[in-house]
Structure 1
């Protein structure tokens, strides 16, 4: 505890409180990180050192750990300089630091954010909640396999579901926006296995994910990972190019999944399938699944 106190003091963290359980004497200490750089500038020793200005504090994928601290952002236009709005306002409002940047879809970032949220509210209310044959009252956890701003998860806010937002590593880094909205999220390379237990998720949602990764890895490998993650009787919703929808449909049929809904128009498609309990036996090879 003494060593921890020395370390946190050198890091300019304030000790808020220390509590000890009367029953088993287990203690807990709560520390608060500084809101400005004043303490850092007054330290007699630069230990732990502050990071170099060239070190990007926003880097979040495949970055080596370093024993240094980043300065606290003090400019009101920088991310992290102000607290976000309270819930649920923070879910619906563009973050204050989305200023002059260009968004993922080519509009100004704040306009992009709003358009994305309105789009998913419409899609969820007019299609997913009505036309998919999904009993959402039985759904508890959902994965958005290609989250952008987290609009799909935000559109589900009135349901009793937990949503994991996955930002692919080859897509724009929008994870800070997802966190700012008060949502869960993670980076992932879908050409690798996802770090979760088998049969974990009730619903998987893939919006133009499969067509975007076909040039890096085989789609059948990704569908096999989808099969591992999804619970029996769980649903996979795919929005993608019509040719990709057709390929996913063929693989789903080879897995004996139930096609709940399929639709295509102007080169774009929508597919909803339900995983079943079926599994092949050693005496029952499925030729269409051999690649």
Structure 2
């Protein structure tokens, strides 16, 4: 079950997801990191299966998350400190800002890294442990559904500062190492891969066979071991670093895996098959020391390296203008004039993110933003990651990879005009209803003609809607569901 790939039926089902019995308004952040309402995600199987590993336990009406896990014997905080101790150059929240956690479980690793100003994109499949990603999002931690199977993850090349796997149940050497090649594709040059699993520290034949396979793969990829240690609880961690130039690739005795063809390097990874090749390391432009962004938080407001490359090229003036416009719109209108209670907003999605200006303008609010870049528009996702933000590619004519009731606010800026030419806006509205929590908001900026088309659809879902200044449609979802 953990290897199911994305499937969207055609035609899309026209129905609304019912609420669980006893559903309540989610526990607010930051308390939600440690406890959530059981009735909101009533999945007891993981509690029973992981009861000896301190992942999650039931306490009265709540699910409680103590910060433990299979590899976090002394707690996730101790584990995070141990990583920085064995590799000080990782510099949580300064050099390392954007992280991918593979097979994240209930996402405690990413949840506690937030204390270090690290933004973690956590993902896992739906498996026999039930809806772990739903637990993570209910807690207010960034996460989405995905699997490394036969298709690329929906991220650009060279964007994550670090990738983490703690017993993530991925066979990295499968199919000649194609799953690990996919991590290599999305990891920044000079970025780190942290692997905490039994082959790192156990000596039985099965684990040693896996370790030997990993040694062969990482050497073929030119990854360098920069740390390998065992903590006080006996848990081993190895940290690899991706090269920063192509010299090692070109100096290998065997061209296996081969270097990718250049003409494939700018394809958007949407329903794209995994590739058996190593993408070339981008060569810094004249005057740049490397393609690594400057330290956080300065990287948020500086013109990103990726904004100066090829089809993503934007001028410093255009980047500054975009940032200034979003700062003014959010500070002057969004946060004060639209009647949204931002104290109840934690999980936010920008459905048409552009350069990430909306998310950047909200950076000092106690929330996080999933920046979605539609696949039929400009490919701005590398710029978003370079700024220290997170996001994915998506086609809004399909369902988004998340569980029901997982976002508090959906934001859309001039998205629907293009969508209306390709798909039914009723189905898009139903998908928005599916992923929005009861009590959550939708904020749409668009032309008055498009807002007048969308408003009746959202009213039909029994949402409260208000039109502001003929420019902004603000909607609030209630508890209504159609009668059986």
Q: 1:63 to 1:79 in 2, by over 3 A?
A: farther
CA displacement at 1:260 relative to structure 2? 4.1
Q: Is the 8 A contact 1:260 1:274 kept in 2?
A: no
Work out the CA distance in 2 between the residues paired with 1:102 and 1:52.
18
The 3-state SS of whatever aligns with 1:124 is helix
Asked if 1:53 corresponds to 2:262, the answer is: yes
Partner of 2:225: 15
TM-score by structure 1 length?
0.87
Q: Unpaired runs of 5+ in structure 2?
A: 1-210
Q: 1:26 to 1:57 in 2, by over 3 A?
A: farther
Q: 1:79 to 1:261 in 2, by over 3 A?
A: farther
Q: 1:69 to 1:132 in 2, by over 3 A?
A: same
Work out the CA distance in 2 between the residues paired with 1:65 and 1:125.
42
Partner of 1:83: 292
Q: Is the 8 A contact 1:147 1:166 kept in 2?
A: yes
The 5-angstrom pairing of residues 20-35 of structure 1 reads: 20-23=230-233, 25-35=234-244
Work out the CA distance in 2 between the residues paired with 1:279 and 1:47.
56
Work out the CA distance in 1 between the residues paired with 2:224 and 2:437.
45
The 3-state SS of whatever aligns with 2:329 is helix
Work out the CA distance in 2 between the residues paired with 1:57 and 1:11.
21
Deviation string for 1:25-57 (max 9, x for gaps)? 442211011111222222111122212233315
The 3-state SS of whatever aligns with 2:438 is strand
Q: Superposition RMSD on alpha carbons, in Å?
A: 2.2
Work out the CA distance in 1 between the residues paired with 2:376 and 2:225.
40
TM-score by structure 2 length?
0.54
Decide which moves more: 155-164 or 25-34: 25-34
Match for residue 468 of structure 2 among 233, 249, 262: 262
Q: How many residues are matched?
A: 274
Work out the CA distance in 1 between the residues paired with 2:301 and 2:457.
37
The 5-angstrom pairing of residues 74-223 of structure 1 reads: 74-76=283-285, 81-99=290-308, 108-223=314-429
Asked if 1:238 corresponds to 2:444, the answer is: yes
Deviation string for 1:199-220 (max 9, x for gaps)? 1100000111112210111111
The 3-state SS of whatever aligns with 1:163 is strand
Work out the CA distance in 2 between the residues paired with 1:79 and 1:245.
44
Q: Unpaired runs of 5+ in structure 1?
A: 283-291
Q: 1:65 to 1:102 in 2, by over 3 A?
A: closer
> Which protein shows a greater Rg?
1
Work out the CA distance in 1 between the residues paired with 2:444 and 2:469.
11
Question: Greater relative contact order (Cα 8 A, min sep 6): structure 1 or 2?
Answer: 2
CA displacement at 1:279 relative to structure 2? 1.5
Partner of 1:272: 474
Q: Is the 8 A contact 1:101 1:109 kept in 2?
A: no
Deviation string for 1:158-179 (max 9, x for gaps)? 1011100001111111001001
Q: 1:14 to 1:4 in 2, by over 3 A?
A: same
